[in-house]
């Protein structure tokens, strides 16, 4: 599975915004500071037994940063006025 496919699969289950995760099925929430604690879905949620640590799952979807050719670096870095 490619990184984009992993991210799309994760995104079908979760919504992310302002440092908070939301289960798309039951709307239970978890802030990023609580990422080490298993996610608690609302009772009866169809995903109650799945994805106990969604922040870790999200981290697992990412890939190594792409190295830009040195010729492009000055173009993509913001200039800072003095």
pTM comes to 0.70
Average pLDDT, integer, range 23-52: 92
| Residue 30, CA distances (Å) to 38, 50, 54, 64, 76 in order | 9, 15, 9, 26, 34
Whether 79 has a pLDDT exceeding 80, the answer reads no
Q: Is the pLDDT of residue 82 over 60?
A: no
What average pLDDT score do residues 70-75 get? 58
Round to whole Å and give the CA distance between 55 and 31.
9
Reading the block at residue 64, the tokens are: 């190594």
14-17, strands of its sheet edge to edge:
14-17, 20-23, 29-31
CB 27 within 8 A of CB 9: no
The pLDDT tens digits of the residues spanning 46-57 come to: 988 876 899 999
**Average pLDDT score over residue span 63-69:** 63
pLDDT score of 1: 84
């Amino acid at each position: 599975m490619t990184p984009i496919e992993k991210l799309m699969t994760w995104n079908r289950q979760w919504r992310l915004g302002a440092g908070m995760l939301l289960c798309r099925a039951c709307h239970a929430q978890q802030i990023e500071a609580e990422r080490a604690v298993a996610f608690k879905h609302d009772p009866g949620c169809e995903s109650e037994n799945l994805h106990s640590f969604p922040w870790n799952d999200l981290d697992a979807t990412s890939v190594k940063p792409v190295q830009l050719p040195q010729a492009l670096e000055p173009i993509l870095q913001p200039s800072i006025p003095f």
